[in-house]
Structure formats: structure tokens, C-alpha cells
Structure 1
Amino acid sequence: MKKDIHTHEHLLNVGFEMFLEDGSRNITVRKLAQRANVNSGVFSYHFGSRENYLTELLERWYAPMFNNVQMTMGSNLPPLEGLRAIILEVLDYVAKYGKLIAHLFLDAKSGEQAARKFANNVPLRHPRVILQAIKRAQDAGCIIQEDPVRLLLYLVSVTEAPMIMQHMIHGATDLSPAMMQDVRVILDDPTSAAQRLDWALKGITV
């Protein structure tokens, strides 16, 4: 029997809302079914298991960004511009879904299998494309001839990492609410992230 696409998408959309709120740690089949107003049998029919469901949910969220990064890598942009454009693609996604990414890290740390599997596979995906872009810029003589992996870590540490960190430290700091708000605005602002990227690229440009 053909599966109801509307129900399938509805379950994924509801689960995505729950993931944004509390991560996958608190998504159970019962809670999801109740919130989606379906019975547990419908969930099992569409996904088979909770882990299958979470795996599909994460891939559905990640795929558009990864596809954009691959398309940018395949474009005709000059090497240094291409590297910048690829990282900006990632930063736009991090700015939009930083809270989800923070939850994902915490889920993986807590032993959630789908989150762990996803986190373990990510280095083979968009970071690898960024690494290719770094090597291409090196081959073109645009940036310094240092270990590409070290350069990748450097660029990530000054761009993506602060944006994710602000979601992880929220509520776990001694800063005053006003100061914390200033920090969050700076760390979560895509324009500030792009500025940090430009500073970082200037630091490795020859």
C-alpha cells in the first residue's frame, strides 16, 4: 500500500519543531504521535523506528545546505571568492539553525544514536568540500601553504563555532542579562560572522 506523503511530511514537520525546542533527547514516539495527532502505529508504518525517523529528519534538514555548498564549489568563482562563498553558505545555515546544532551536539554527547551517527558523518561532507576549496585556493597561490586541515579548523573556529557556542552557553553564564544579550547579538549575527571570516581570510591571504 502506498504511504500517505502528507502524513509522512506532517510527522517530519512536527518532529522538527520538537527538535528545535528540546533536541532529539525528548522526542519519543508517544510524544510525537500525540503532538501530530496520529497513533503510534501510523508512525511505525512510515518510519519503522525512532532512530530511522531521526536519521531522516536530520538528513532532511542538512541536505539543502550541503547541496548549496556543492553547487558553489562547482561554480566558476575565483578560488578565494569561492572559498568565502562556501563558508558563507554554511554560516547562513548556522545563523538560522544554531539552536538546533547546539541541541545536536548535546544529543550526540548524551548517546543519541542518530545524532552520533550524523555527527560522525558530517566531517566527510561539507567540511570536506571546504577543505577542497582551501586546497584549490592554495594551488592558485591565493592563501598560505600551510596544512589545509589546520586552516579549516582556524576558519571554523572564528566563524561557525562562536555562533553555535552562544546557544550552548545561554543560561549557563555569570554575565548579566544585558551583557549576555550583547554577546548573543554579536555571536549570532551573520554580518558579524562574515566580518570575522573576512578578517580570517586576510590573515591567510598571500
Structure 2
Amino acid sequence: MTEFNDKQNEILLVAEKLFSEHGFDGTSVRDIAKEANINIAMISYYFGSKEKLLEALIINRISDLRLEMENLFKENLTPFEKIDRLIELYIRRINKNCRMYQIIHFEIATKKRDINYQSFNEVKKYNLQALMKIIEEGQEKGLFVKNIDVALIPPTIMGTYFHFQMNKPFYGEIFNLKTEEDFDTYILTHLIKHIQKTIKALLVYEN
């Protein structure tokens, strides 16, 4: 696992902010250096290029999730409670910086940059294994059915969230959501609960 020092973490935070506000293409290394109050050479020294900086940012963000999932698995909770907490963890993290996650997913989907996704995929695999452990625990206790496509659960969670985000005008009208605060409140209450119910239904549904 890649460990970043304080200065690298500071640069990553600035890059995340600027990528979120202006997009990857709309942000230059010079912009990042200016905002972080450092010289461009320091970014080159630590990361090599803007693409490598994005790669490091992706790894850093998903590694944080890995640590939280490790802690979740150790808690004295039922499998149902762990699934609920996991979904809430996913959505709260994504919603905190939705635009950055959209940029990451766009870059992965389009493969426009020369970015090494091996480390990113390794962390995703680890997170998937942690989810599998929770589900296996529920299966051993007779709470969850056996025929579960575990790998499809994360995209089910995130796909629902991103569909909601990408159709804000429609859902704003349907649910009378007028401000960003209205949307955040709805996401962190109603949408999370809807996703939790959906995933738990999948875990107990018999074919």
C-alpha cells in the first residue's frame, strides 16, 4: 500500500479540490502548484506528472475506504447491520465529493490517460473481499442466501446514487428538492435507506 507524507497529502488535497472545480483537463500542474504554494518541481519530484498525480489521488481515496471497511468488519454488529453501515459509508464518502468521484469514474471508463490502474484494482479487490466476508458471515448464520453475485453489489449501490445525481432536475421536481441542502438531506436519509432495503432484499431473495 502506498503511503504518502504530509506534503504529498497536502498536494493531493489541493489537486482534488481543483480537479473537482475545473475538471482534470481544466486544471494545470501550475494551477496546483500555485494553490498549494509550492514550485512545480516539487510536484514533478513527488508524482512525476499530472496523470501520476491523479493515479495517486485515486489510490489514496480508495485506500481510505479500505481502512474504514477493515474497522467495520471488526465491529460487534450483525451481518445486516454491517451491510447497512457499509452502504452508508459508501454513499456518505461519495456524496462528500461527488464531482471528484465522477472524474475518477470518467477517467477509468474512457482510458484517455496513461494511468496505471493495477494498484487501484488491487485495493478494489481487497474491498470486495471485505464485503464477501460480511456476506459469508451472513450465509453461515443462515441469514443470506447462497447464490449472491457479490461483485455486482458495489455497482448496484453506486449506480443508484450516480443515477440520482445525474438526474437532479427530474428528482428535484418529483421530490420537491430546491437547494443543494435539500438534495444532501434526501440522499443521506431517504436514498441511503432505499439502497439499504434494495441490497438486503437481494441478500435474502430466493430464486
With normalisation by structure 2, the TM-score equals 0.74
- What residue number does 1:189 align with? 187
Deviation at 1:160, TM superposition (A): 2.6
- What residue number does 2:162 align with? 164
**Number of matched pairs:** 196
Deviation at 1:189, TM superposition (A): 0.7
- 1:27-176, aligned counterparts within 5 Å? 27-110=27-110, 111-114=112-115, 116-117=117-118, 120-121=121-122, 123-149=124-150, 153-154=152-153, 156-157=155-156, 159-169=157-167, 175=170
Deviation at 1:15, TM superposition (A): 0.6
Give the SS at the match of 2:115.
helix
User: Contact (CA 8 Å) 2:160, 2:195: kept in 1 or not?
Assistant: no
Deviation at 1:67, TM superposition (A): 0.6
Deviation at 1:186, TM superposition (A): 8.2
Counterpart Cα distance in 2 of 1:10 and 1:119: 20
- What residue number does 1:17 align with? 17
Counterpart Cα distance in 1 of 2:142 and 2:73: 18
User: Contact (CA 8 Å) 2:79, 2:134: kept in 1 or not?
Assistant: yes
2:159 alignment partner AA: A
Give unpaired runs (5+ residues) of structure 2.
Answer: none
Deviation at 1:196, TM superposition (A): 1.2
Counterpart Cα distance in 1 of 2:185 and 2:124: 23
Per-residue displacement from partner, 1:58-84 (whole Å, max 9, x unpaired)?
233332222111111122222222222
Counterpart Cα distance in 2 of 1:176 and 1:116: 34
Deviation at 1:91, TM superposition (A): 2.1
Instruction: Please give the root-mean-square deviation of Cα atoms over the aligned residues, in Å.
Output: 3.4
Counterpart Cα distance in 2 of 1:203 and 1:38: 50
Deviation at 1:25, TM superposition (A): 3.6
With normalisation by structure 1, the TM-score equals 0.74
Deviation at 1:43, TM superposition (A): 1.9
Give unpaired runs (5+ residues) of structure 1.
Answer: none
The sequence identity of aligned pairs, in percent, is: 17
